[in-house]
Structure 1
Amino acid sequence: MAFSVLLPVLLALVANAEPGSAYNLRPTIGILSQEPTDDILDLLEDKNYTSYIAASYVKYVEGSGARAVPILINQDDSYYEKMASSVNGIILPGGSVSITNSSAYGLAAQKVYEHVVKANKEGIILPLWGTCLGFEIITYLGANYENWLEGCLARNKADKLTLQIGFMDSRIFDQMPHYVIDYVSLWKTTVNFHDWCITPENFTKSGLIEDFKILATSFDYNDLEYVALIEHNEMPIFGSQFHPEKNPYEWANDKEHSAIPHDPFSVGVAHYFSNFFVNQARYNNQHFATKKEENEALIYNHDTTFTGELGSGFTECYFFR
């Protein structure tokens, strides 16, 4: 079943490759780290870590044929410029820190976003995807550093997507097989873990609607409608308030994470989103200056910690000093 779900998706993505394009078959995806919360550090004997990445994001891109590169926080401007000019795509993951530059993650995300926008304006295809907190940061940065989020109740909640008018006029849905569109619009294949959201009204008031399309919305436990999926009108910048990486790769077995859908349809939807994003990165042919530099940057140089057995909602994490 999983193969039958995945194969047509892959074929659809490859079929949409631009004829004659320099197609990168060794893409690297940069994943921004963030400072660990006290809840995570309390689980560890060694607390001398400055940042972490949930391993589900790494597996998410690896499962679609890419390699992962951690992008660390608390670095100087030249570091982020170098990373943005060496990798083929970037993910801003979810988390629990501030979206402003008052957090190290927020500040690093701002620098990364600015480099991504600059590259794309110069004609370099450099895709960016923000998930949950990363999505919220994109709305903040895209609205000229103004916060239009409001409180909502959508933690541990699986949902279908309410597709918006014109959703097919997008990169994401133009390449999505019709049966996958049915999965996301009719079944609860996406999962949410957030306390903040942006409503369609605020998305319009903020001016974001001038640069981004609202592709889908969802509803919180109080029936508040919020923006769930966006795409930039011109640049390959995407954001989901939901967590596609959790369906195949997060296995916390407690009531606080019980809503994560692991059925073949939800896993197939998750793989579509990862395949789509990695495919966008294949249009980028940037690389590190040397093979040695590339090897030293890859996530393979770091070990995972089985944080799930310690009581974390993340099954595995990478920790960095």
Structure 2
Amino acid sequence: MMVVPRVVISAALLLAALLVTDAQYSYNLRPIIGVLSQAPSDSLLSGLVDKNYTGFIAASYVKYLESAGARVVPVLTHQDDAYYENLVHSLNGFLFPGGGVSITNTSGYGAAGQKIYDLVKELNSKGIYVPLWGTCLGFEMLTYLGANYVNLLTACNANNKADPLNLQDGYLDSRIFSQLPEDSVNSLRTLNVTVNFHHHCITPEVFKSSGLSDEFKLLATSWDSDGREYVALMEHQDLPIYGSQFHPEKNQFEWSTSKTHTAIPHYLKSLEVSQSLANFFVEQARQNNQSFTTEKEEEVALIYNYHPFYTVWSTYTQVYFFR
């Protein structure tokens, strides 16, 4: 009887285990996330020679998603319904970024966000798992849409402020916290790793009394500079829709020299938290295998067709502009 060396058996078993684990872990290894653009402010355009742009995305959101193994497609505003329907059926997830425009359909951002939100919910109801994340302004728009177009926001003083999170009862039963590394959860709970730049927020009391808690689960709160408690992190009760009032993308990728942006944490624990949240969301996007109809359509849509501007005069390090 031929004896097979133990080292050969071990190597073969290890390879098989790795292949099985990878197949179970994710079946879409080429996820693409759509990031919603918005109209640039006059101050953001002020440093450009050519100011004839109608949309922008901060490059930090692009890098944030790329750091977790995704590619990005910019989602333009003021497009027809067919444009958004095609993207929702072609992409693997969406991110609504922070910014300074209206969360209602009076802005291109708000109108496009409403359309994408409805389409993503419809798709998920049919069993196609397409995640959506809203950050800061995007979080606020999710509360507006989740409350059936009722603005539940109140004034908050949480600008240029880094804080830990006050985790709520049952947080470990959530999709987010059940999948984050324990070390990142501890950092979120005890260290100033979440940075905030917002003047509006939703209080826990309004979150519950408005009925929004029937739609979303309150996972964590923070406090503004005046001691007001506000909702900092939430996820949909049933669907892969998530919102953070804080900015996880800034820890790694924003380096503004402005005195109004001195609180961004760049130490190791804050970077680990940022990366963990990026990894979580992109992993969510790997749970569907949607794709563009052709490789050419995909190539034309990707962010690689644009180049970022170094916007040293603004609060963003780099920005993609669109016409």
TM category, shorter:
over 0.9
Whole-angstrom CA distance in 2 between matches of 1:203 and 1:66: 32
Residue 280, structure 1, aligned to residue 259, structure 2: no
Letter of the structure 2 residue corresponding to residue 203 of structure 1: F
Gapped regions of structure 2 (runs ≥ 5)? 1-17
TM-score, normalised via structure 1 length = 0.93
Aligned length: 304
**Greater mean deviation of Cα atoms: 155-164 or 20-29:** 20-29
Find the counterpart in structure 1 of residue 165 from structure 2. Answer: 161
Residue 295, structure 1, aligned to residue 299, structure 2: yes
How far off its partner does 1:254 sit? 2.3
Larger radius of gyration: 2
Find the counterpart in structure 2 of residue 66 from structure 1. Answer: 70
RMSD across aligned positions (CA): 1.4
Whole-angstrom CA distance in 2 between matches of 1:241 and 1:21: 29
Letter of the structure 2 residue corresponding to residue 104 of structure 1: G
Letter of the structure 2 residue corresponding to residue 317 of structure 1: V
Secondary structure of 2:172's aligned partner: coil
Residue 56, structure 1, aligned to residue 60, structure 2: yes
Superposed CA deviations along residues 77-102 of structure 1, whole A, max 9, x for unmatched, are 11001111100000000000011011
Aligned-pair identity in percent equals 57
How far off its partner does 1:20 sit? 4.9
CA contact (8 A) 1:161 1:218 kept: yes
How far off its partner does 1:177 sit? 2.0
CA contact (8 A) 2:180 2:277 kept: no
How far off its partner does 1:255 sit? 1.3
Find the counterpart in structure 1 of residue 208 from structure 2. Answer: 204
Letter of the structure 1 residue corresponding to residue 56 of structure 2: Y
Find the counterpart in structure 1 of residue 317 from structure 2. Answer: 315
Secondary structure of 1:168's aligned partner: helix
Whole-angstrom CA distance in 1 between matches of 2:198 and 2:168: 21
Superposed CA deviations along residues 85-140 of structure 1, whole A, max 9, x for unmatched, are 10000000000001101111111100010111010011110000000000000000
Secondary structure of 2:162's aligned partner: strand
Whole-angstrom CA distance in 2 between matches of 1:163 and 1:21: 27
Whole-angstrom CA distance in 1 between matches of 2:154 and 2:93: 29
How far off its partner does 1:23 sit? 1.1
Whole-angstrom CA distance in 2 between matches of 1:63 and 1:318: 17
Question: Is the alpha carbon distance of 1:162 and 1:21 closer, same or farther for their aligned partners in structure 2, counting shifts above 3 Å?
Answer: closer
Find the counterpart in structure 1 of residue 124 from structure 2. Answer: 120
Letter of the structure 1 residue corresponding to residue 318 of structure 2: E
Whole-angstrom CA distance in 2 between matches of 1:61 and 1:19: 21
CA contact (8 A) 1:190 1:244 kept: yes
Whole-angstrom CA distance in 2 between matches of 1:132 and 1:160: 16
CA contact (8 A) 1:22 1:285 kept: no
**Greater mean deviation of Cα atoms: 18-27 or 286-295:** 18-27
Gapped regions of structure 1 (runs ≥ 5)? 1-13
